[in-house]
Amino acid sequence: MGNRLKKDDLVQVVAGRDKGKQGRILKVLEEGRVLVEGVNVMKRHQSPKKFKEAGIIEKEAPIDASNVMIVDPQSNTPTRVRAGEKDGKKVRVAVKSGAVLD
């Protein structure tokens, strides 16, 4: 995966139950998975003896990074990412519009 996805990137789900939903990346996990805000939400039953937050809570579960694509800042559609260079530094570039993502 390299540096394709980073925290706070706006992504769109392209496969699975939540296909079409957009959200910000909350966390990038080591195993090639990401936590996306409002996507793959699960319900967790928690007892008040063990947790501060008791009852039924909803939280995001990890989704595979291959099932999300970065949203192009200009066209607001999913796009692939390629490496580019700007002022001698490596940057991520949207393939559709050529916009710099970093």
Architecture per CATH, 10-94: Roll (2.30)
Q: How far is residue 90's CA from residue 28's CA, in Å, rounded to a whole number?
A: 20
Provide mean pLDDT across the span 83-95.
Answer: 93
Closest C-alpha among 36, 57, 58, 60 to residue 47? 57
The pTM of this model reads: 0.86
pLDDT band at 52 (very low <50, low <70, confident <90, very high): confident
Residue 66, phi then psi, degrees to nearest 5 = -75, -15
Is pLDDT at 2 greater than 70 in this prediction?
A: no
Is pLDDT at 82 greater than 80 in this prediction?
A: yes
In the prediction, which pLDDT does 102 show? 80
pLDDT band at 53 (very low <50, low <70, confident <90, very high): confident
